[in-house]
Amino acid sequence: AQTVTQSQPEMSVQEAETVTLSCTYDTSENNYYLFWYKQPPSRQMILVIRQEAYKQQNATENRFSVNFQKAAKSFSLKISDSQLGDTAMYFCAFMNPPNFGNEKLTFGTGTRLTIIP
Amino acid sequence: DAGVIQSPRHEVTEMGQEVTLRCKPISGHNSLFWYRQTMMRGLELLIYFNNNVPIDDSGMPEDRFSAKMPNASFSTLKIQPSEPRDSAVYFCASTTGGGQPQHFGDGTRLSIL
């Protein structure tokens, strides 16, 4: 079974700084998908970024980017120019490819990120 | 476009009562997921439907839990009888599949007294 590990339960950084959240996963599949979701205190689950494992290029969405290291099974999230609104729980998630027959998300335990004014 | 709609947003009830959670997926999405979030176990899949058919229900805790998807625009998760350990936030999510992201509803916070 796939597993996702987030080794940083909590992090805090000053506003405008850059922060990196780590995530590792375990799978025997070659093609799969990885996601970062953000859960602010409002408890909504908001998609931050998506990465396809067969793409070498790291995904980027504005201030959010990933460092995807397939061989190391590592998928870290970098937040640049952090803002107060980035304060939230961040979950890393793994999804099997469609031909696996099950597209459920397997989540890590989350990292609670606090941006300090 | 409307996102995934869940109701109720909050539910407080006494142990032994029947609880029904509802979900309307995004129109055109053919996969629907129910997840449960607790402090102890984090986010875990309860059941997954594809084209209204249950594909994976291995996460359903026990016979007290049941889920249905009678049509493409509606799903229910029922707990009968409810127990205090069922207290959690229950999320519904939908997607078009093919590796596309899942879109989540706002969740139902369930408290069983």
Which of B42, B56, B109 lies closest to A107 in CB terms? Answer: B42
Cβ distance of A44 and B104 shorter than 8 Å: yes
pLDDT of residue A53: 94
> Residues near A91 by Cβ (< 8 Å), separated by ≥ 6?
A6, A36, A37, A38, A39, A45, A107, A108, A110, B43
B64-90: pLDDT as tens digits? 999 999 999 999 999 999 999 999 999
Q: What is the pLDDT of residue B57?
A: 93
What confidence tier does A98 reach under pLDDT thresholds 50, 70, 90? confident
Does the pLDDT value for residue B1 go beyond 70? no
* Pairing of the two strands A60-61 and A64-69: antiparallel
CB contact A73 to B (< 8 Å): no
Which chain A residues are closer than 8 Å to B102 by Cβ? 105
> Which residues numbered 85-104 in B keep a CB inside 8 Å of some CB on A?
89, 91, 93, 95, 97-99, 101-104
Residue of A30, A103, A111 for testing the chain B interface, max B β-carbons within 10 Å: A103
Q: Which residues of B touch A95 (CB under 8 A)?
A: 99
**Does the pLDDT of residue A43 top 90, yes or no?**
yes
Check if A64 contacts B (Cβ < 8 Å).
no
Q: What percent of chain B has a predicted confidence (pLDDT) above 90?
A: 94
Own/partner pairs for A69-75, CB < 8 Å, 24+ apart?
A: A72/A24, A73/A24, A73/A25, A73/A26, A73/A27, A74/A22, A74/A23, A74/A24, A75/A23, A75/A24, A75/A25, A75/A34, A75/A51
Q: What gap in Å lies between CA B78 and CA A45, rounded to an integer?
A: 22
> In chain B, which residues have their Cβ closer than 8 Å to the Cβ of A103?
31, 48, 95, 97, 99
Q: Which residue of A has its CA nearest to B98?
A: A98
Does residue A1 have a pLDDT over 80?
no
CA B32 to chain centre: 9
